[in-house]
């Protein structure tokens, strides 16, 4: 059975961590985290720490809201 964990920031989902034989492999679901794609980590905490460092270093903003129609 495969264990899959969503890795999220306060603003968005960064990607998925999939359990492998020696730890976890990261798969980005947002282009802002593509540089971490395919990396292997020993623990989930290591994955979360890398995502957190990248978020802090790049000041990744929340996804832009799409303009919509205003109600009157």
Residue 31 lies in a domain: yes
Does 44 fall in a domain?
Answer: yes
Question: Is the residue at 11 inside a domain?
Answer: yes
Closest CA to 12 of 31, 38, 35, 27: 31
- Give the number of domains in the chain: 1
In a domain, 70, yes or no: no
Domain span including residue 38: 4-58
Mean pLDDT value of segment 4-26: 94
Q: Does 26 map to a domain? A: yes
Q: What is the pTM assigned to this prediction?
A: 0.75
Q: Which residue has the tokens 């999939």?
A: 18
Query: pLDDT of 33-66, one tens digit each?
Result: 999 999 999 999 999 999 999 988 766 655 555 5
Residue 71 lies in a domain: no
Residue at 13 is within a domain = yes
Q: What are phi and psi of 20, to 5 degrees?
A: -125, 180
């Amino acid at each position: 059975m495969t264990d899959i964990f969503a890795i999220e920031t306060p603003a968005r989902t960064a990607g998925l961590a999939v359990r492998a034989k020696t730890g976890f492999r990261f798969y980005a679901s947002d282009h802002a985290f593509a540089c971490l794609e395919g990396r292997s980590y020993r623990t989930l905490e290591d994955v979360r720490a890398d995502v957190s460092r990248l978020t802090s270093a790049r000041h990744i903003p929340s996804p832009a809201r799409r303009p919509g129609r205003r109600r009157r």
